[in-house]
Amino acid sequence: MTRSETLFEQAKKTIPGGVNSPVRAFNGVGGSPRFIEKADGAYIYDADGKAYIDYVGSWGPMILGHNHPKIRQAVLDAVENGLSFGAPTELEVRMAEKVIEMVPSMEQVRMVSSGTEATMSAIRLARGFTNRDKILKFEGCYHGHADCLLVKAGSGALTLGQPSSPGIPEDFAKHTLTAVYNELESVKALFEQYPEEIACIILEPVAGNMNCIPPIPGFLEGLRALCDQYGALLIIDEVMTGFRVSKSGAQGHYGITPDLTTLGKVIGGGMPVGAFGGRKEVMQFIAPTGPVYQAGTLSGNPIAMSAGLAQMEELCAEGLYEELAAKTKRIAEGFKAAANKHGIPLSINYVGGMFGFFFTELEKVTRFDQVTQCDADAFRAFYHGMLDEGVYLAPSAYEAGFLSMAHGEKELEETLTAADRVFARMAK
């Protein structure tokens, strides 16, 4: 038994499934998860001392690579002053100013400690502000595990085959309407059915929890227009895409202005952080200025703010996003070329620093139902082949892949050479 396998067996005795977040258990690909001991740059190292080129990046935040010296130093400096105060700090003001500078649609912002908190709070705010109960989300999109959002959800819920979870009363779930991603007609139909009841649309502007599906032209603009027509708020969930698809998130990349935005992961540089913000008029509805309650003991935590600020400063470097996008394109196009060389059909999507690949004959995958029809056995074979080769991909066909600035020529080349070998073996 490897040390990872031993640890997994031990973990299962005290932690449900041996993990603290489901996808980590490798249910989507089978086999035993790697227990990670440390990470640096583009690499993670497991408990058996094996190094992997990492395309998970802690599910997104490690956009500069693991253990970045400036972020590490910022955390070490902050620790000197104490870990948490439960009172306002200058760091929070600087963080708010930085977020607003980078994402102009956010006129005010509130920090929380996870993406789930960010979306849950944004939904409550949208409901309170519009005085409406229903919300509209898309099948296969994941927005964290709040009750109202765990309906036809993506990510781990999808990987485990439980897109809608038990434990959520029908009375709660009935207020969550679901539409088809990239199909404006399905959204229109719901607004026509409930013209005055829908508080908001929430969506991933590039879906990254049903693999990776960018919006088709006109989709985001159409949602904005429908929200305006029916008096609903548009919430763009940029927990994954924020500061990854572009410096100003997917909303900057596609030129779309939401009423509210949710952020997570990237703004914490690896610390537990999330945020929601948007139009001042709406944000003023939150306590203590407004009636909608929302709070958090560790919100705006000084260590997390320091890590996040250090990362955001680095992200403003000239040309960073062009370079990140070029690396991403190289990997995605490289996977496709290698697969095709060995007669294996593979479709790819990529935007900014995120990518997805699909074992399908389809030229382009744009819808959730197409993702679920992909060849799951081929994905598993490729996944384990790459893992053996020392490349760590997301352990589910329903997750996006992430590049970091620490992925250099050597790592990209080695990854593509590994992919070539794995596809060659699969083709036999």
Q: Is 265 a catalytic residue?
A: yes
Q: Is 50 a catalytic residue?
A: no
Instruction: Decide: is 264 part of the binding site for ligand PMP (CB under 6 A).
Output: yes
Q: Could you identify the residue written with the tokens 């929070």?
A: 92
20 burial (CB, 10 Å; 0-12 / 13-18 / 19+) is exposed
Instruction: Decide: is 351 part of the binding site for ligand PMP (CB under 6 A).
Output: no
Restricted to residues 31-90, the positions that interact with ligand PMP (CB under 6 A) are 59
* CA–CA dist 154, 295 (Å, integer): 27
Laid out side by side, the sheet with 36-40 consists of: 36-40, 43-46, 51-54, 391-392
Instruction: Decide: is 399 part of the binding site for ligand PMP (CB under 6 A).
Output: no
Point out the catalytic residue in the list 46, 54, 237, 259. Answer: 237
Q: Is 66 left (phi over 0), alpha (psi -120 to 50) or beta?
A: beta
* Contact by Cβ (8 Å): 344, 426: yes
- Whichever of 179 and 416 has its CB closer to ligand PMP, that residue is 179
Shortest reach from residue 321's CB to ligand PMP, in Å: 19
Instruction: Decide: is 159 part of the binding site for ligand PMP (CB under 6 A).
Output: no
Shortest reach from residue 338's CB to ligand PMP, in Å: 28
CB atoms within 10 A of CB 413: 12
Which residues fall within 8 angstroms of residue 201, CB to CB, at 6 or more apart?
135, 136, 137, 187, 223, 226, 227, 232, 233, 234, 235
Q: Specify the DSSP element, H or E, that contains 278.
A: strand 274-278
- Whichever of 122 and 332 has its CB closer to ligand PMP, that residue is 122
- Whichever of 4 and 349 has its CB closer to ligand PMP, that residue is 349
Q: Could you identify the residue written with the tokens 């990529």?
A: 350
* CA–CA dist 257, 141 (Å, integer): 20
Q: Could you identify the residue written with the tokens 């031993």?
A: 6
Judged by CB under 6 A, the stretch of 11-19, 109-117, 287-295, 358-366 that binds ligand PMP is 109-117
Instruction: Decide: is 119 part of the binding site for ligand PMP (CB under 6 A).
Output: yes
Restricted to residues 200-259, the positions that interact with ligand PMP (CB under 6 A) are 204, 208-209, 237, 239-240
- Whichever of 92 and 399 has its CB closer to ligand PMP, that residue is 399
Cα-to-chain-centroid distance, residue 88: 28
Nearest position to ligand PMP, beta carbon: 115
Q: Which of 142, 383, 392, 402 is in the footprint of ligand PMP by CB under 6 A?
A: 142
Q: Is 237 a catalytic residue?
A: yes
* Contact by Cβ (8 Å): 46, 36: yes
Shortest reach from residue 81's CB to ligand PMP, in Å: 26
Shortest reach from residue 249's CB to ligand PMP, in Å: 11
Shortest reach from residue 351's CB to ligand PMP, in Å: 14
Active site residue ranges:
142, 237, 265
Summarize as ranges the residues that interact with ligand PMP (CB under 6 A): 59, 114-116, 119, 142-144, 155, 204, 208-209, 237, 239-240, 264, 274
